[in-house]
Chains A and B, each alone.
Chain A
Amino acid sequence: MKGYVLEQIEPSKFVLQMGPHHPATHGVLKLFLELEGERVARCRPEVGYLHRGIEKLAETKTYPQVVPLTDRLDYIASMINNVGYCVAVERLLGIEPPPRAKFLRTMVCELSRISNHLLWLATHALDIGAMTVFLYCFREREQILWFLEEICGARLTFSYPRIGGVRIDVEEKTLEKIDRFIDGFFQKIDEYEGLLTENRIWIARTRGVGVINPEDAIAYGLTGPSLRGSGINYDVRKHFPYDAYSEVDFEVPVGKHGDTYDRYLCRVQEMRQSAKIVKQCIQKMPEGSILAENAIELDLPPSGKKKLHPEGWSTGAFISFLKEKEPLLPEGEIYSAVEGAKGELGFFIISDGSGRPYRVRIRVPSFIHISAIPKLAEGQFLADVVAIIGTLDIVMGEADK
């Protein structure tokens, strides 16, 4: 009897819209997925839900006023955005921050990087199904946020660095506290690794998932740990040193296979290296001024318990540097990149000699990483798409600008 032959049925394509409100998309990212059974045949990401036009806004502000805008890019490690912008403007103006400011910036950047990687590890593991790691990571992340709060008074939008240095000096006792924390932190990383690195389920869910070979990884513009997982040793801190990175000793962890598991190992190793840098910064912290002499002037609120000038609030001249009539800036253009927590964070600034930037272009790693999702996800299982979004470490505030 000739019956019903299964092979003759064409598998119909099933369209699934993942997001924009999906807990695993880390913000408002939408993915159009065409599925053949459980395999992803085609993937098309869609962004722009959080677009605020930061590049346009920056053209209307003065150079120091752009610093708080950069906080809103990658809000998980906003310190690095601030530093990236400040380094770009300093290179444009030819200002050199004093050594203490450089070391302070390097220290807070690396603390931010650790806190970013902790949040990444927590949510990535949670997406894949390892709940415990989430709680472990947030324990340490909370402490780092306390330190950052003690340093600059904010937990999310820091605006701590300023053009030519940093805003406030750090007290000796805070440095001691951070030093003690870092001493114990290496052991904490061992704890996370104990939960995951040799965990059979973790390996089954991450090894061989989202593989990208080195040539493709460069061609698709991956940077940061996502690129280094494929075995390319490209780190902006080594290739274009800024701040105190040329004076501290650290290694760049590199993966081999370019899969999710290797990128995980890279980031965990990077946390160790960052902790090492923080420790060296505290040891080598020089004394002295925290602001370059030729830095742009700012009217900051008076320190201590002294009351603000009553007119200070009403005129809105809170951060009003603005001696725009003086030709204080050279004409020119500069591209300056820093190693953001996600990848290469570049700022391109054109100055026309006025007090406001003519054009600010921000090269954001998350935007480019999202454009590489189809390359990584097509042909994989639907469940692995969640792992792939996690492994690229994207944040939509940055991708949408």
Chain B
Amino acid sequence: MVEEILKDLQQQFKEEILEIGEFRTQKFLVVKKDRIKDILRWLKENWSFNHLQDLFGVDFLGKIPRFAVVYQLYSLPNKVQLRIKALIDEEDLTIDSVVDLWPVANWLERECYDMFGIIFKGHPDLKRIYMPEDWKGYPLRKDFPVKGEGLWDGVKDLIR
């Protein structure tokens, strides 16, 4: 099944696909970010990938492009799993939001923005979710120190 999907996908979005890989029987696809929403919508409508298992960012510090947003898809009727990775360059940290395809992406994209600073275009309410709203920096980036960069400004208000 997954081979058929990949073949079909290659015909539809030939220009967009950069790499098709496999590790421990899990297939993944590396794509350009420009038409990511079209690809995902096409997958959802034609191959009924109705369950967005996960959406998150990864920081490959030192590589170009630096960031990736990973979409882990699962089709409940067909029992097929597929992972799509969209690469994002440090110069242009934007990608299309998929909230209107899967509402679950709402908070997952907010988390991704909070942790990596990736901006999702078309998101209804893009703001920080775990960190305080006036927090500086993006904690899950590889160049963010584990112990943080000094005290958070808001802590002064708390202890005063």
Contact present for A337 and B146 (CB under 8 Å): no
Query: Are A348 and B56 also in contact (CB < 8 A) when A56-B140, A221-B102, A371-B104 are?
Result: yes
Contact present for B107 and A371 (CB under 8 Å): yes
Contact of A48 among B23, B53, B131 (CB under 8 A): B131
Contact present for A337 and B53 (CB under 8 Å): yes
Q: Is A309 positioned at the interface, with any CB of B under 8 Å from its CB?
A: no
Bound-state Cα–Cα, A370 to B50, Å: 20
Interface segment, A155-163, A272-280, A281-289, A360-368? A360-368
The closest CB in chain A to the CB of B55 belongs to: A363
Main secondary structure of the interface of A (DSSP, over half): mixed
Contact present for B130 and A344 (CB under 8 Å): no
- A residues in contact with B104, CB < 8 Å: 219-221, 368, 371-372
Contact present for B54 and A335 (CB under 8 Å): yes
Interface string of B69-81 (1 = CB under 8 A from A): 0101000100101
- B residues in contact with A220, CB < 8 Å: 103-104
Q: Is A179 positioned at the interface, with any CB of B under 8 Å from its CB?
A: no
Contact of B79 among A56, A221, A239, A363 (CB under 8 A): A239
- B residues in contact with A51, CB < 8 Å: 130-131
The closest CB in chain B to the CB of A93 belongs to: B24
- A residues in contact with B50, CB < 8 Å: 218-219
Q: Is B139 positioned at the interface, with any CB of A under 8 Å from its CB?
A: yes
Query: Are A219 and B146 also in contact (CB < 8 A) when A92-B24, A234-B76, A334-B23 are?
Result: no
Q: Is B106 positioned at the interface, with any CB of A under 8 Å from its CB?
A: yes
Bound-state Cα–Cα, A221 to B24, Å: 26
- A residues in contact with B108, CB < 8 Å: 368
Interface string of B47-75 (1 = CB under 8 A from A): 00011111010110000000000101000
Interface string of A329-360 (1 = CB under 8 A from B): 00011110100000010101010000000010
Distance between B118 CB and nearest chain A CB, rounded to angstroms: 14
Contact present for A91 and B24 (CB under 8 Å): yes
Query: Are A371 and B106 also in contact (CB < 8 A) when A48-B131, A57-B146, A239-B79 are?
Result: yes
Main secondary structure of the interface of B (DSSP, over half): mixed
Contact present for A361 and B139 (CB under 8 Å): no
Q: For chain B, which range describes its interface: under 10, 10 to 19, 20 to 34, or 35 or more residues?
A: 20 to 34
Q: Tally chain A residues at the interface, Cβ within 8 Å.
A: 38
Query: Are A400 and B130 also in contact (CB < 8 A) when A92-B24, A346-B54 are?
Result: yes
Q: Is A232 positioned at the interface, with any CB of B under 8 Å from its CB?
A: yes
Bound-state Cα–Cα, A48 to B135, Å: 13
Query: Are A56 and B58 also in contact (CB < 8 A) when A221-B52, A332-B24, A346-B72 are?
Result: no
- B residues in contact with A346, CB < 8 Å: 53-54, 72
Query: Are A232 and B76 also in contact (CB < 8 A) when A57-B146, A91-B24 are?
Result: yes
The closest CB in chain A to the CB of B106 belongs to: A371
The closest CB in chain B to the CB of A44 belongs to: B125
- A residues in contact with B103, CB < 8 Å: 219-221, 375
Bound-state Cα–Cα, A232 to B77, Å: 10
Distance between B80 CB and nearest chain A CB, rounded to angstroms: 11
28 A-B pairs within 8 Å (CB atoms) are namely: A47-B130, A48-B130, A48-B131, A51-B130, A51-B131, A56-B139, A91-B24, A92-B24, A94-B24, A220-B103, A234-B51, A239-B79, A333-B23, A334-B23, A334-B24, A335-B26, A335-B81, A335-B83, A344-B53, A346-B72, A348-B70, A348-B72, A359-B59, A361-B54, A367-B107, A370-B107, A371-B104, A371-B107
Which residue numbers of A lie inside 8 Å of B, CB to CB?
A: 47-48, 51, 53, 55-57, 60, 91-92, 94, 218-221, 232, 234, 239, 332-335, 337, 344, 346, 348, 350, 359, 361, 363, 367-368, 370-372, 375, 400-401
Ranked 5 nearest A-B pairs via Cβ: A221-B104, A371-B107, A332-B23, A48-B130, A51-B130
Which residue numbers of B lie inside 8 Å of A, CB to CB?
A: 23-24, 26, 28, 50-54, 56, 58-59, 70, 72, 76, 79, 81, 83, 102-104, 106-108, 111, 115, 129-131, 139-140, 144, 146
- Contacts A56-B140, A220-B103, A363-B53 aside, 5 further interface pairs with beta carbons under 8 A come to A221-B102, A335-B53, A335-B54, A348-B72, A361-B54
